[in-house]
Structure 1
Amino acid sequence: MDTQKLKAVASRAGLADTYISAWGEPTNVSDTVLVKLLAALGYDTTDDATLEASAVRKHQQDLLAPVFVLRENQQVDITLTLGKSVRVGDFSWSLMTENGETIEGWLESQVIRDTREQDGKLVFRLADALPMGYHQLTLRRKRRKSAFTSTIIVAPVTCYKQTSLQSDEKLWGTTVQLYTLKSEQNWGIGDFSDLMQLVGNVASRGGNFVGLNPIHSLFPANPEGASPYSPSSRRWLNVLYIDVINVAEFALSDAAQQRVGSTEFQARIKAARDAEWVNYSEVADLKMSVLPMLWETFKTRQLAKQTDRAQSFNRYVDDGGMSLLHQAAFDALHAELKNTDDAIWGWPVFPEKYRHFSTPAVQAFIKENQDAVHFYMYLQWLAEEQLSAVQQLATDRGMDIGLYRDLAVGVCDSGAESWADEGALSLDASIGAPPDILGPLGQNWGLPPLNPDYLVKHAYTPYIDLLRANMKHCGALRIDHVLGLLRLWWIPRGDSAQDGAYLYYPVEEMLAILALESHRNQCSIIGEDLGTVPDEIVEPLVEGGVHSYKVFFFETAEDGGYLSPAHYPVQSMSTLCTHDMPTLRGFWHCDDLRLGKELGLYPDEAQLEGLFTARAEMKQKMLNSIRWHGWLPETIGQDALYVPMDQSLSHAMQMHLAAGSSALLGLQLEDWLEMDKPVNVPGTVDQYPNWRRKLSATLDELFARPEINGLCQRLTDVRAKASQYKE
């Protein structure tokens, strides 16, 4: 295939044929990779002629684009692709605003630019400005039966911020992986009732938020598929977080109470609760043996009588529409198939007739198993009901933000969303990261990416629905890998992460929609912008009101020393550690490097030695920074080689960060408990029990500790003082 022609088509498709590596070197993408990715995008790559022909078809411009995305107070100029011989006087237009108002006019009187002779474009001004929201434009031509339609999206310039953030107050909160919470009540996994207790404890100690891992739906029939960052769907919830005892129907079900109250069942709960690691299979078996009993009670006590509670459920099902049906049908079918064959982990190994939602066999299954499908809808409703109650408590307790949720970068290729996909996802590709210093082979996350062409043609509806679903019942949303709004590393299906390329997305439009939905849902935005950050995304994120994500360990100056947290941008969230890092104690004692060696992650001994050396230098520079800013107690030595991570040093580091300028400060409960084991080891699948390690203390024990209550008081005081400081 002709390389120049190939690269020209790739460029029009948004694929970059070069990129800057983690070592700062320009790197070429192979022709083979470009061909495979163009095929994944729907181009015919048989030969040069078919490629060019398919490119012409794909980029054929309609008379009226499917969507226009504008900012608030921007003039509404609509560009048409129109032949120069077409009579402009034949066109009229009408606009239905979001609130139902209709505006009409004739095209000819509002033309502001006609360059059809040069580029086939004609521009007319619809209005000086439109209110924020989603509006529908209809263009009609005489003697043509069907009209041309488009969506006009008008968005604010920046994302929403709570009043306290607008006033430059400095807020703090805790971050936690929900499943790690321990209590005397849960069934071996942190649940929404545990979360409610945590929110209450943090609120009463001056905290303003609790940050969560993604709580997206996973696989009830395959509970060991536990990564919150490889969800079945990002629009629905993980039903294993339901507190069974707290469901209204539990108090009405004698059968459920007898089952749960039995000696054998209580022994199983205690064993699951006392285990150091979450036993997902046991937790799922316990909960899924009782929840069907509650569904039976709901049907007889609520649905049969059409009570208010039943009507609330029916409204939820109606509002959930096809997406909820996709999720519930998938879960019901998966459970049915798993009962007959335990090896069925997802839809790629379903019998052929069941491998897509739209097949006749699946539609027949839904019709014949309506009760099972509705049961999984009921579970989603219960999960949302309990999550909503947590955010309501946060609001009642005066938290400015309450919960902040986490939006994973994609969905796995074996779950409900990809099973029901009609083109929004590119299933012949997955996303990841190119090679870098710590990952010389790159990363392949096994997540099919959103297709940007589909997004535009469907007026960004899948993206809008995704944002709305994840901005429910929270005051902030953290977007994992926010750089993906600009570009994602696409890898042809089945290939290694090295053989990929960056595909660029319509970042301005996606940021605008993010701002609009942020305001609609009164939800501030945190963007996880770690790693190699392209220059072209920095300013749009800042101007768009997205809080940057500042991890203390990574914030170094050109001389290698650590930046003072006082110099972090105000529009940021700062933290010491993340879920992809070792705990504070594990980092300081190099436990992660030793574990990596045991797991075979560093086969090159010289590389490992270099990492140990670099870690020692980092620790010394951190110690120097904390001491220079006056937060290091006199009882702690100045040579990092001989200073262990203990409570005094941990608290000093947290105070050092708390005194900084970031609007938000998030601290991990693991570090309050001085834990050493990580919750996740990047680069591993089976070598380490990722997403299973619990906290080392129950919530009651944690908040009964004087040192933790004292830390919370100091955090509140230091953050209040930082709020008053103005440079």
Structure 2
Amino acid sequence: MKENSLDKAARAAGISLTHINVNGETEAISDETKRALLAVMDNPGSNKKTPLPPVAVFSGNAKRQLTAQGRGVFHWQLRSEKGAVFEGELQGGELFTLPTPLGQGYHQLTLSKGRQQWLTRIIVTPRRCYLPPALREGEKRWGALVQLYTVRSANNWGIGDFGDLQQLLEQLALRGGDFVGLNPLHALYPASAGFASPYSPSSRRWLNIIYIDVSQVADFQQSAAAQKWWKSAKTQRALAKARESDFVDYETVMALKLAALRYAWAEFQLHNEENEDKRAFAAFVSEGGDSLRYQAAYDGIQAARRADNAEHWGWPVWPEAWRNSQLPEVQQWCKQHEDEIAFWQWLQWLAQQQFSRCWQASQASGMSVGLYRDLAVGVAEGSAETWHDPELYRLKASVGAPPDRLGPLGQNWGLPPMDPHVMQARGYQPFIDMLRANMRDCGALRIDHVMSLLRLWWVPAGETADKGAYVAYPVDDLLGILALESQRHRCMVIGEDLGTVPKEIISMLRDSGIFSWKVLWFEQQQNGEYRSPDEYPRQSIASASTHDLPTLNGFWGEGDLLLGEKIGLYPDKAVMQSLQQQRAAQKQALLEALQQAGALPARSAKRAETLAMSPQLNQAIHRFLADTNSALLGLQPEDWLGMTEPVNVPGTTNEYPNWRRKLAQSLEEIFADKEVNKLLKTVSQRRKAG
């Protein structure tokens, strides 16, 4: 059957014509959705034809050959990343083999004919991502998975900070731990501090300045005005309240830190230009370029506009003349507020310095992974990135997930997708810049929703998520670049591949050296039995849970189900009863798996329903996890402390205080706790024995 013009255009644009629906059946995408998404993409098929594509990626030992479209003779010149120059002539329509030797990296091919010239970026990549020597040699390592904002300590200002992170790394290293895995540290919205989801950032290239440990800032300590403010009764009362709260008070914490850092900034400006810190800051600003400048400008403008009008939360609701970084009014503001821009740039510099010190502390402690960062799947609509580079993002669409059994209408995450056609036209530089920013000062990068390298579910603006379609991304090219940057930064890659994973990407991820994520709750066979520890693949990280799932206590005591019922997540009692029955079966299967693996004595209990969560059961689950074949194991402090409340309930906004719940104990208390130390000692010994 001949393909109609609409389907042909959609397929050419990378829009999948079908998807697997909630019943496991192939379902056609509607013509309305195809038209809507083609309109969102600005008709990518109409681009002017060129002899060569704007970028070509060659992975591993693949043949490095191209065909120049057109007729006649072309002159070519290839400049390698290291400056070597090759040149010659080629015939249009014939196969052209790139010259050798041409090492891994980014090279520039120029094709010319008469007065016309065309540029193609040539990227030569390794096949696999980096793997630390310890893991390459077969060792098994463990670490803590920490939502940094939840950390309590004697010194922080009501939110976990980079000072806490350094302390956490040092304490874990003393107990045999090898890394701290973090939530995304991406820049959020200082002027709208309550908008706290780390997965809806303002920028994925810059840091969240709320994590700055103000006590480490020398100019804060040296400023007489800052110290007077700090010692005032009003400041100390606000600080004590923020520290004592069981939930992070983002607005208060941000207000305190910005007030303190304004004083510190005034002190910093008094240094002469030859001051070592002044010179380091100037170099940071120069290296950050336009991306840093407009991140800082956005933070400054957002603060000014919200001070005048609380409704002006971000650029989508600003006056038309302010909705793009390059508009005349914005440029005029920037010229008049260079000092304000510099202040926000300086905060990024402080954050980067402190995070870098954490990385250095991990390496000084002998950790092989040390830190792993988390890369969110996108940025929010009202972000600094979409404000500064609207061409890269498709603002009339958002990404999400198609309907499934838990969400019959699908999910809409409110994140505008990067346009794969624009990414290719730019030689993948936006993707490269993002990887470099996030692989800095860490030993591993976790990629949230790693399937996004292959495809994303795009939903046209104004439509429900069930009216979306999958849009393809150049997965082979992206995996190659990921491997190249991974090797260059000595940063391994972990892919969050939970949920429905397309079959076509599973082997790609494995062959690229990307670690899979194995969550205990999901590691069941078709017959309901839990996989034994030795069935976990070596190229994976194992964990009991994640920030989106219940804690050990929550799972065993069904606290997550009770919470879901309380806040109205389930349509009726029948759904709740079904989930409780499913949980009872899971708990029984887990109990049997623990006993079969020797992690829990068989005499402890035969029926899970008669067994309450206890230190013994908690230790047994940790022993089971420690024995898994996975090269990495991530443990949550919430589970060391027997906490029940989740940090995030997916699918909620105002129903639950997501991204705010703190740990039950401070760092000082955690590492002085005999039960915690006993548990970590057991885990460390079993990982070494394995």
What are the residue-to-residue correspondences of 1:223-234 with 2, within 5 Å?
223-234=193-204
The normalised TM-score by structure 1 is 0.93
Matched, 1:30 2:30: yes
Task: Give SS of 1:183's match.
Answer: coil
Asked if the contact 2:147/2:182 (under 8 Å) is kept, the reply is: yes
Matched, 1:612 2:580: yes
* Structure 1 residues not aligned, in runs of 5+: 44-53, 109-115, 723-727
Matched, 1:80 2:68: yes
Matched, 1:134 2:106: yes
The CA deviation at 1:604 is 2.6
Counterpart of 2:281 in structure 1 is 313
Task: Give SS of 1:389's match.
Answer: helix
Matched, 1:237 2:207: yes
Counterpart of 1:430 in structure 2 is 398
Q: 1:703 aligns with which of 668, 671, 681?
A: 671
Task: Output the CA distance in 1 between the equivalents of 2:570 and 2:139.
Answer: 44
Task: Output the CA distance in 1 between the equivalents of 2:191 and 2:302.
Answer: 6
What are the residue-to-residue correspondences of 1:106-255 with 2, within 5 Å?
106-107=89-90, 121-141=93-113, 143-144=114-115, 146-255=116-225
Deviation per residue, 1:533-570 (Å, 9 max, x gap): 11100111000000000001101112121111211111
**Segment drifting more, 466-475 vs 639-648:** 639-648
The CA deviation at 1:122 is 2.5
Q: 1:3–1:73: structure 2 CA closer, same or farther, 3 Å change rule?
A: closer
Counterpart of 2:81 in structure 1 is 98
Task: Output the CA distance in 2 between the equivalents of 1:633 and 1:186.
Answer: 42
Deviation per residue, 1:466-498 (Å, 9 max, x gap): 000000111000000001100111101121111
The CA deviation at 1:422 is 3.8
The CA deviation at 1:73 is 3.7
Task: Output the CA distance in 1 between the equivalents of 2:653 and 2:507.
Answer: 36
Counterpart of 1:280 in structure 2 is 250
Matched, 1:357 2:325: yes
Task: Output the CA distance in 2 between the equivalents of 1:236 and 1:476.
Answer: 17
Q: 1:245–1:573: structure 2 CA closer, same or farther, 3 Å change rule?
A: same
The CA deviation at 1:708 is 1.1
Task: Give SS of 2:98's match.
Answer: strand
Task: Output the CA distance in 1 between the equivalents of 2:642 and 2:462.
Answer: 41
Task: Output the CA distance in 2 between the equivalents of 1:305 and 1:28.
Answer: 64
Asked if the contact 1:3/1:31 (under 8 Å) is kept, the reply is: no
The CA deviation at 1:22 is 4.1
Counterpart of 2:604 in structure 1 is 636
Matched, 1:720 2:680: no
Q: 2:50 aligns with which of 29, 52, 62?
A: 62
Deviation per residue, 1:415-468 (Å, 9 max, x gap): 101111141111111001111122222111000011000011111000000000
Task: Output the CA distance in 2 between the equivalents of 1:153 and 1:657.
Answer: 40
The CA deviation at 1:72 is 3.3
Asked if the contact 1:22/1:532 (under 8 Å) is kept, the reply is: no
The CA deviation at 1:637 is 1.4
Asked if the contact 2:623/2:683 (under 8 Å) is kept, the reply is: yes
Task: Output the CA distance in 2 between the equivalents of 1:566 and 1:134.
Answer: 41
Asked if the contact 1:76/1:128 (under 8 Å) is kept, the reply is: no
**Segment drifting more, 593-602 vs 541-550:** 593-602
Asked if the contact 1:77/1:127 (under 8 Å) is kept, the reply is: no
Task: Output the CA distance in 2 between the equivalents of 1:481 and 1:171.
Answer: 24
The CA deviation at 1:228 is 0.2
Deviation per residue, 1:199-235 (Å, 9 max, x gap): 1111110010000000000000000000000000100
Q: 2:316 aligns with which of 348, 363, 370?
A: 348
Counterpart of 1:513 in structure 2 is 481
Task: Give SS of 1:147's match.
Answer: strand
Task: Give SS of 1:498's match.
Answer: helix
Counterpart of 1:382 in structure 2 is 350
Counterpart of 1:113 in structure 2 is none
Matched, 1:9 2:1: no
Asked if the contact 2:50/2:118 (under 8 Å) is kept, the reply is: no
Task: Give SS of 2:466's match.
Answer: coil
Asked if the contact 2:595/2:602 (under 8 Å) is kept, the reply is: no
Task: Output the CA distance in 2 between the equivalents of 1:13 and 1:21.
Answer: 22
Deviation per residue, 1:250-292 (Å, 9 max, x gap): 1221111111122221121111000000000100111111111
Task: Output the CA distance in 1 between the equivalents of 2:23 and 2:591.
Answer: 28
Task: Output the CA distance in 2 between the equivalents of 1:268 and 1:592.
Answer: 32
Q: 2:429 aligns with which of 461, 482, 505?
A: 461
Counterpart of 1:40 in structure 2 is 40
Task: Output the CA distance in 1 between the equivalents of 2:565 and 2:27.
Answer: 30
Amino acid at match of 1:137: L
Task: Output the CA distance in 2 between the equivalents of 1:245 and 1:322.
Answer: 30
Deviation per residue, 1:614-637 (Å, 9 max, x gap): 010001001111111111135631
Task: Give SS of 1:405's match.
Answer: strand
* Structure 2 residues not aligned, in runs of 5+: none
Asked if the contact 1:239/1:383 (under 8 Å) is kept, the reply is: yes
Asked if the contact 1:272/1:278 (under 8 Å) is kept, the reply is: yes
Root-mean-square deviation over aligned CA pairs: 1.3
Asked if the contact 2:533/2:597 (under 8 Å) is kept, the reply is: no
Asked if the contact 1:75/1:127 (under 8 Å) is kept, the reply is: no
**Segment drifting more, 570-579 vs 123-132:** 123-132
Amino acid at match of 1:152: I
Task: Output the CA distance in 2 between the equivalents of 1:638 and 1:320.
Answer: 60
Task: Output the CA distance in 2 between the equivalents of 1:703 and 1:343.
Answer: 44
Asked if the contact 1:72/1:130 (under 8 Å) is kept, the reply is: no
Task: Give SS of 2:334's match.
Answer: helix
Task: Output the CA distance in 2 between the equivalents of 1:570 and 1:641.
Answer: 33
Deviation per residue, 1:67-109 (Å, 9 max, x gap): 11002343321221113xx2x2xx222111111121222325x
Counterpart of 1:401 in structure 2 is 369
Q: 2:335 aligns with which of 361, 367, 388?
A: 367
Deviation per residue, 1:548-598 (Å, 9 max, x gap): 000011011121211112111110001000000111101111111111111
Counterpart of 1:50 in structure 2 is none
Percent identical pairs in the alignment equals: 47
Task: Give SS of 2:378's match.
Answer: coil
Asked if the contact 1:479/1:528 (under 8 Å) is kept, the reply is: yes
What are the residue-to-residue correspondences of 1:509-658 with 2, within 5 Å?
509-633=477-601, 636-658=604-626
Asked if the contact 1:217/1:237 (under 8 Å) is kept, the reply is: yes
Amino acid at match of 1:79: T
Asked if the contact 1:82/1:122 (under 8 Å) is kept, the reply is: no
Deviation per residue, 1:334-375 (Å, 9 max, x gap): 001011111221111112211111100000000001111110
The CA deviation at 1:660 is 1.1
Q: 1:422–1:100: structure 2 CA closer, same or farther, 3 Å change rule?
A: farther
Asked if the contact 1:131/1:154 (under 8 Å) is kept, the reply is: yes
